[in-house]
Structure 1
Amino acid sequence: MMAPSGRLLCAAMASAVLVCLTATARGGRVLWSGALTHDSASLRVSCTTDNQAVLVSTNADLSDAVAAFPQAKAGVVGVHVTGLEPDTTYYFGVNGLDEAAPGRFRTVAVPAGQPLSYRVAFASCAFTGAESPVFGEIVDHDPLFFMHMGDLHYLNIESDSVEEREASYAAVFASESQSRWLRAFPFVYMWDDHDFGPNNADGTFYGSAVARFAYQKFVPHYPLAETGDTVAPYHAFTVGRVRYIVTDLRSVSNMPDSSNSTLGWAQREWLLREFAAHADYALMVWVSTKPWMGEEDPGSDKWAGYAEERRFLANAMKALGVDNLVVLAGDAHLIGVDLGMHTDFADGGGAGFPIFHAAPLAQYGSVKDTGPFSEGCFGYRFFNTGQYGVMDVVDDGGEEVCVKWTAYRQGLETLTTVRFCTPTMKVGLPQDGDADICSMPFFPPWATFVVVLICLIGIGGPLWLGWRAVARR
């Protein structure tokens, strides 16, 4: 009779080892920046009462503000600040509220199109309101901006309520560690499924228009490719001589007029125009919120489920002569880096590009049948691991731009580092589906030992006591 309780004890104690502590959705104050240029930035700030003002200052206590934006009503307000000095640190917040912990951004040192070396951090996927040291570690890298590639939260909203959308952003800011991280530098954010709608949500989700409206209201962002209050939020922008292309693979996916497309016809034509302009930039960075690699898998929620569209894009890259593309990707809860050996889906080859999957910030691991990766893959299936990427762009004005990618795990553990320069494209290996996908252990070695030890104690202890009780009879 003791053994079952021992097994329950093992399960309970193992669960305690793996538990992810998250903040409740009690709501925090929205305070973040984006759309950074050499002389401007976009802000989203929560005013708690009527007749407050959003201040922008070069002083951390918000004194001697260089700009003030009075707000008549309480709520989240959007402010676009212009006329700023290049390469200058600014602080922002609400008078009387944020002097001790304001938001912060540093303007780009040069106008778009000029050579610039700088750092970007990026990742995706964190439990709603998760508290973790990994967010502070990312702040310590001091990137110019952070690229968030989806699943900012896991609320899986199924309604068409703007208020629920606002509460979802507030739930993220309720985390002290995430709030500090979100205030520390500008963000470029594109949703994935769990922060757009329910699991695997696409453009047929009835709350799509409200989600798009809420994105524009609560997220600081660069100008979108389309105009209107409820348009899909895909967009592109330039920092230095690098073009960033941010695609929305949710709110226009599988629409009636573009079935079997995760981009939708309008966004796909826009993406092709961006690819066609590749010679205007030293480097192009495509942000994809779905895994690119993997054997054709119709109906799956990744690029392998849209294999024809993937092949079409790869052939277009090849035909257009794109030779300076890299891809940052999320969704799959792993670190995986490939230098173009396994990303080439063009007919006859010739469209293999470097790709960096970066996740999870604060979630359990998953593979999603993606890979393999030439530089390895990293993660744990049943352990909440903080993982992210850092990209250093090195541009001295010459013909080539060089990139250093570093993958980190919480604790500043370096998982892999690669360096390469333009041109980036190559003829990859034939993608015949026979290659192994990423393999991922259940736990880190130390946690495996702890779980086994707990199980031995939980099961062996009661059995020992039961044996002794029988032996005494």
Structure 2
Amino acid sequence: MAAPVAHTAAGDVTTGTVPNLGTVTVAKPANTSSGDVLVAVLNSSVSGGTWDVVPAGWTQQAMFAVQRNTAVFTKPIPSAAAETATDYTWHTTGGAGRTGAIVFRCTGVDGAQPVDAVGAGVGSGTTSIVDPAVTAVSGEALLLAVFSSYLNTGTANTITPPPGMSSVGGYTINSGTATTVHLVCAQALSAAGSTGTRTASVAPAGTGAAGIMLTLNPGSVPGPPEPPVAHTTADDTAAASVTSSAVLRVPRPAATANGDLLVAVLAHRNSGPAFTTIPPGWAPAPVAYTANGVLAAYWRHVTDAAGEPPVYTWRSPNGAARAAATVFRVTGAAPPTADGGPIDAAGAATGAGTTAIVDPAATLTAPATLLLACHMTTATSTATPVVSPPAAMTQIAAVPVVTGSASLHLQVSGQGVTASGSSGTRTAAVSPAAGSVAGFLLAIAPPGYGTAQPPQLRARLAGGVTTDQARVTAATQFTSAVRFARSTSPAMTSPTYTAATAPDRDGLAAAVFTGLTPGTRYWWAVELDGTLETGHLGTFRTLPAPGEPTSFSFAAASCADTNSNADSFADAAARTGPTGEPALFTVHLGDMHYQDIGTDDPAWALAAWLNALGQPNQAALYAAAPLAYTWSDHDFGGSNVAADSPAAAAVQAVYRRLVPSHPLPGDGAGIYQSWQVGRVLFVMTDGRSYASPITAPDTATKTKLGAAQKAWLKDQFAAPGVGLVIWCHEDAWHNASTFTGDDTWSAYATERAELAAYIQANDVPLLYVHGDVHALSHDDGSHVPGRFPLISVSPWDQTTFIGNGALTSGFYPDPVSTTVKSQQYGWFDVLDNGTQIVVRALGIADGQVVLRTEMSWGITRHLGWGIPL
């Protein structure tokens, strides 16, 4: 490798001087080329001070400020086209004086580490200036020697280069009463080690002098990165459209490979918020149009192509409408690492235009980007307004949607851009004229550039709490390592950590806190890549020893509309019982969402749950108390579904990854479980995973629980040393057999009669708590098969309805409404003095107690119920 070369021809060197200022500006050499390293040598007649204003991209490599101030700066030029500056400005804090700069081109310099070695400065000399030696590390370096001489007269002197060195350039500054002469010399070296001193002659003698030497490393300046590439063949893109739906399901491009960036662009005719349910691992771009329809973009970095789901699902919160989507592969994009990420910039969104869409400019920061132009048109005509790519851009995908009387067109174009700065606007033609349009620009960065994605915590849950352990899970994004921390202090002092674990492909991580103390409150948090998320604390209290009389409270309810952030969740999180403690846990009895997945899509199942868990008020509840959760029909797969639901395998698998629970059956399907608090045994059953279709004949073979779960349930009822069994089940037990409008126990009357007979024959001390019926109600057992009390606790956030069975308390609200949502839940205070267990059940609606009943088991089994308050 040869030594670097300093170029000295016209266009290779520029200078700038001022006689009495601290600021100097010098033009960029006209011949600046890709691969150059520019060198700037500055001198100020004022000693001391620093250079506090330095042009972007320049690095100070040397400075000697004892006599005057001499400094050397370098700047690599990967791309001359991207180097849009036309001049460079420095400022020194030393004050006004004779200030000058010379900038020259060097080639063959290592752009990553331009300077090989720097010598000591010198501040003396009249007829000669002796620069101290520098010890070169490289055997083939370029030696630069800097000299300056000054006179206290208006006459300049001359500096002659040292023997063996050639002049690069210099300048003279005259302030009327004093003059500074500055010279830079260069010499190619062929050996490492001491260069020896270099002596420049000065004539006539100067009043003072300054000098310094340094060597430049041989090497090269890496060229500018190539823009990422959007691929457009049939195997590289995928599309989907619907004529009237809130759900868009887009296939994975067939050629998807490790390292790809998948980009999705979606258009939905209904205006409102952008898509709220997005596939796990996808992130929204920082721009979307939502004012007259929705146009939005999302991205996902692929690390395991073989494990990618076959379909990606988005769901709009804005109701059913015509919609379109495309997913396409991009290669050469930055991964979401600490030194950058795929999104470089985004322009503002626009909704203006009928025959043209003018996308506002984006400010590109990387020297090379893939610029995407995303467009949507709509019309109340089947003549679809088609978008043509803007000038110099290539179409990546176009998806038309035509209904019986209207149309929509989604179009995406791309262009590789090799300069930073403003992208300028992009104009796409529309023909025929559209009723409404939307558009924006989005820039994808190459590796090493763009916006880094910090680790994100999307959701966290605690559950399966016992006397000495608790299970926790976290849903994360852009995270490589997760630990869970616990402490007995809300300040998280002296925390105990679980072992670090890598989140799975969807960002899920799980752990178990062990070695806990019974009856003790703990706080816990999630650590993402070494940072403890103390702004997202959870808390739980371990259980007392089984059989030990204990008083506590818990909350229970079901049925929250999709995307619900109802106040009922926050109210339950903040409420405390007679002991002064919050709920020991929350029992969720199903229908956490109403997405009605209806297909074997684990990614959609996970996204639907994460969407609910990420709502602020729901997140607050699940942070305030552990969750015990069983599904109902809408979150199992669809209205009134049974074990044959196409979504069953997906939701069963995802539940086990996401929800921390008490031990589950080993068949990988059912989620029935039990846990004991003191003398109270909680039994939570699964009415879906083994259920016969509700339309099947109601015979002895028709089942809601399945044989194994039913046998397990009977064993739970017969457990010794239990003062009360609280059976938590998703739907109603009491409806008459003529109730055919839903899938409650009335459709499984034969199995219900079998269980009722068992309960009565074994005198099981039982309370049944259920949801599904969207009302608060209570029965003392007189209208219930099996003669045990039951409580209906619903809905968290839904319209209301009831079944057709009689109830001793009636129901709330009365009358029900099919249009107005209620926000309700049940609150239970369990008081055990060792002789008698009293359960005080409260029906809470809009934060107020609207129903109250009290039941007891023990010396005197008394059943009572209150009236609406």
Short-chain TM bin = 0.7 to 0.9
Q: Which residue of 2 aligns with 1:134?
A: 568
Q: Matched residues in 2 for 1:97 and 1:271: separation?
A: 41
Give yes or no for the alignment of 1:231 onto 2:669. Answer: yes
Following superposition, the deviation at residue 173 of structure 1 comes to: 2.1
Q: Which residue of 2 aligns with 1:82?
A: 514
Q: Which residue of 2 aligns with 1:456?
A: none
Kept in 2, the 8 Å contact 1:22–1:130? The answer is no
Q: Secondary structure of 1:71's match?
A: coil
Q: Matched residues in 2 for 1:152 and 1:167: separation?
A: 12
Q: Matched residues in 2 for 1:290 and 1:22: separation?
A: 33
Following superposition, the deviation at residue 143 of structure 1 comes to: 0.6
Q: Which residue of 2 aligns with 1:342?
A: 783
Following superposition, the deviation at residue 406 of structure 1 comes to: 0.9
Letter paired with 1:307: A
Q: Which residue of 2 aligns with 1:12?
A: none
Kept in 1, the 8 Å contact 2:465–2:542? The answer is yes
Kept in 2, the 8 Å contact 1:22–1:127? The answer is no
Following superposition, the deviation at residue 297 of structure 1 comes to: 3.3
Give yes or no for the alignment of 1:116 onto 2:553. Answer: no
Q: Which residue of 1 aligns with 2:473?
A: 44
Q: Which residue of 2 aligns with 1:328?
A: 769
Following superposition, the deviation at residue 298 of structure 1 comes to: 7.6
Per-residue CA shift, 1:92-130, capped at 9, x if unaligned? 22222521122221222x212211000011110001221
Following superposition, the deviation at residue 55 of structure 1 comes to: 1.9
Give yes or no for the alignment of 1:247 onto 2:685. Answer: yes
Q: Which residue of 1 aligns with 2:78?
A: none
Letter paired with 1:364: T
Given candidates 458, 474, 479, the residue that maps to 1:29 is 458
Letter paired with 2:731: K
Q: Which residue of 2 aligns with 1:213?
A: 653
Q: Matched residues in 1 for 2:637 and 2:727: separation?
A: 23
Q: Which residue of 2 aligns with 1:283?
A: 724
Following superposition, the deviation at residue 84 of structure 1 comes to: 1.1
Give yes or no for the alignment of 1:305 onto 2:747. Answer: yes
TM-score (norm 2): 0.43
Q: Secondary structure of 1:165's match?
A: helix
Q: Matched residues in 1 for 2:745 and 2:658: separation?
A: 28
Q: Matched residues in 1 for 2:820 and 2:569: separation?
A: 17
Give yes or no for the alignment of 1:405 onto 2:846. Answer: no
Q: Matched residues in 2 for 1:58 and 1:152: separation?
A: 31
- Farther-moved stretch of structure 1 (358-367 vs 127-136): 127-136
Which has the larger Rg? Answer: 2
Q: Secondary structure of 1:45's match?
A: strand
Per-residue CA shift, 1:131-154, capped at 9, x if unaligned? 222211111111111111111111
Letter paired with 1:81: F
TM-score (norm 1): 0.78
Following superposition, the deviation at residue 425 of structure 1 comes to: 7.5
Q: Which residue of 2 aligns with 1:10?
A: none
Change (3 A) 1:39 1:136: same
Kept in 2, the 8 Å contact 1:128–1:172? The answer is yes
Q: Which residue of 1 aligns with 2:711?
A: 269
Letter paired with 2:564: A
Q: Secondary structure of 2:607's match?
A: helix
Q: Which residue of 1 aligns with 2:495?
A: 65
- Farther-moved stretch of structure 1 (27-36 vs 382-391): 27-36
Change (3 A) 1:173 1:283: same
Kept in 2, the 8 Å contact 1:57–1:91? The answer is yes
Give yes or no for the alignment of 1:98 onto 2:538. Answer: no
| Corresponding pairs, count | 394
Kept in 1, the 8 Å contact 2:588–2:629? The answer is yes
Q: Secondary structure of 1:363's match?
A: coil
Q: Secondary structure of 1:266's match?
A: helix
Letter paired with 2:810: G
Q: Secondary structure of 1:193's match?
A: coil
Q: Secondary structure of 1:301's match?
A: coil
Per-residue CA shift, 1:444-463, capped at 9, x if unaligned? xxxxxxxxxxxxxxxxxxxx
Given candidates 347, 357, 360, the residue that maps to 2:795 is 360
Q: Which runs of 4+ in 1 moved over 4 A?
A: 255-259, 423-427
Change (3 A) 1:354 1:407: same
Q: Matched residues in 2 for 1:362 and 1:261: separation?
A: 30
**Structure 1, unaligned runs of 5 or more:** 1-20, 346-350, 428-473
Q: Which residue of 2 aligns with 1:468?
A: none
- Farther-moved stretch of structure 1 (82-91 vs 333-342): 82-91
**Structure 2, unaligned runs of 5 or more:** 1-272, 281-456, 576-581, 864-869
Q: Which residue of 2 aligns with 1:385?
A: 822
Q: Secondary structure of 2:728's match?
A: strand
Following superposition, the deviation at residue 177 of structure 1 comes to: 1.3
Q: Which residue of 2 aligns with 1:107?
A: 542
Kept in 2, the 8 Å contact 1:129–1:153? The answer is yes
Following superposition, the deviation at residue 306 of structure 1 comes to: 0.8
Q: Which residue of 2 aligns with 1:445?
A: none
Change (3 A) 1:274 1:68: closer
Cα RMSD (Å)? 2.5
Per-residue CA shift, 1:171-216, capped at 9, x if unaligned? 0123111111111110110000011111111101133122211111
Q: Matched residues in 2 for 1:232 and 1:187: separation?
A: 17
User: What percent identity do the matched residue pairs reach?
Assistant: 29
Kept in 1, the 8 Å contact 2:855–2:862? The answer is no
Q: Matched residues in 1 for 2:476 and 2:646: separation?
A: 30
Kept in 2, the 8 Å contact 1:116–1:395? The answer is yes
Given candidates 606, 609, 624, the residue that maps to 1:184 is 624
Q: Matched residues in 2 for 1:91 and 1:334: separation?
A: 34
- Farther-moved stretch of structure 1 (52-61 vs 243-252): 52-61
Give yes or no for the alignment of 1:172 onto 2:612. Answer: yes
Change (3 A) 1:69 1:46: farther
Kept in 1, the 8 Å contact 2:727–2:767? The answer is yes
Kept in 2, the 8 Å contact 1:57–1:67? The answer is no
Change (3 A) 1:73 1:184: same
Q: Matched residues in 2 for 1:317 and 1:88: separation?
A: 34
Q: Which residue of 1 aligns with 2:833?
A: 396
Letter paired with 1:334: A
Q: Matched residues in 2 for 1:426 and 1:409: separation?
A: 26
Q: Matched residues in 1 for 2:739 and 2:850: separation?
A: 32
Per-residue CA shift, 1:255-287, capped at 9, x if unaligned? 79984211111111111222233x520100011
Q: Secondary structure of 1:69's match?
A: coil
Q: Secondary structure of 1:238's match?
A: strand
Following superposition, the deviation at residue 221 of structure 1 comes to: 0.4
Following superposition, the deviation at residue 420 of structure 1 comes to: 1.9
Higher strand share: 2
Q: Matched residues in 1 for 2:646 and 2:701: separation?
A: 16
Q: Matched residues in 2 for 1:245 and 1:295: separation?
A: 24
Q: Matched residues in 1 for 2:855 and 2:862: separation?
A: 12
Q: Matched residues in 2 for 1:124 and 1:425: separation?
A: 28
Following superposition, the deviation at residue 25 of structure 1 comes to: 2.5
Change (3 A) 1:268 1:260: same
Kept in 2, the 8 Å contact 1:354–1:425? The answer is no
